[in-house]
Amino acid sequence: MILGLSRYGGLRTPSETLSLRWDDIDWELNRMSIPEPKVEHHEGRGIRSCPIFPELRPILDEAFEIFGDKSEYVVAAPQYRAAANTAMGWKNANLRSEMTRLLRRAGVSGWPRLFHSMRASRQTELQREFPLHVVCSWLGNSPRIAQQSYLLVTEEDFAKAAGVAKVMVEG
């Protein structure tokens, strides 16, 4: 669930993924009201609305079927919430370490900035289809931050510019 919310929802980890409640999901309108603990101190911030993207919907559906009546939170992991949500605010909950262990077990190489990279990939994908201000509203960042920290140049960009089919690059 954490991976789905990070990769396909573009949520910040751990604060947003661990704060999201089932009550924040509007199944009929296909929207999420995402709590924004990181920026709630800014005027007009604290909760943003984001579509439930098609890639995320089946993950949410399955999790709700399993945990919807057992947990108030979408990520049913109180140990992570307890570790991350402290009196001093949100902090690292060792999700990266756990993710690295899971990737290693699956035989997959990790990559730098695991969760940030998933959010950046989502921002880049959405940017191809929707205007910058719309994507920034959904993901909760500014156009300046998106351009500075999240938008990526991809192999698809090179292939499109060269007028060729996408080439797989080993990394």
What does the mean pLDDT of the chain come to?
A: 86
Residues 109 and 121: their CA atoms lie apart, in Å, by 17
Q: Is residue 72 part of a domain?
A: yes
Judge whether 71 lies within some domain.
yes
CATH assignment of the domain containing 39: 1.10.443.10
Residue 85: CB partners within 8 Å, gap ≥ 6?
Answer: 15, 18, 19, 37
Query: What pLDDT does residue 59 have?
Result: 96
Q: What residue numbers bound the domain in which 15 lies?
A: 2-162
Whole-prediction pTM value? 0.80
Instruction: Count the domains in the chain.
Output: 1
pLDDT, residue 62, reads: 96
What is the rounded distance in angstroms from the CA atom of residue 42 to the CA atom of residue 30?
Answer: 26
Phi, psi of 21, rounded to the nearest 5 degrees:
-110, 160
Segment 8-64, tens digit of pLDDT: 999 987 789 989 999 999 999 999 999 987 666 667 777 999 999 999 999 999 999
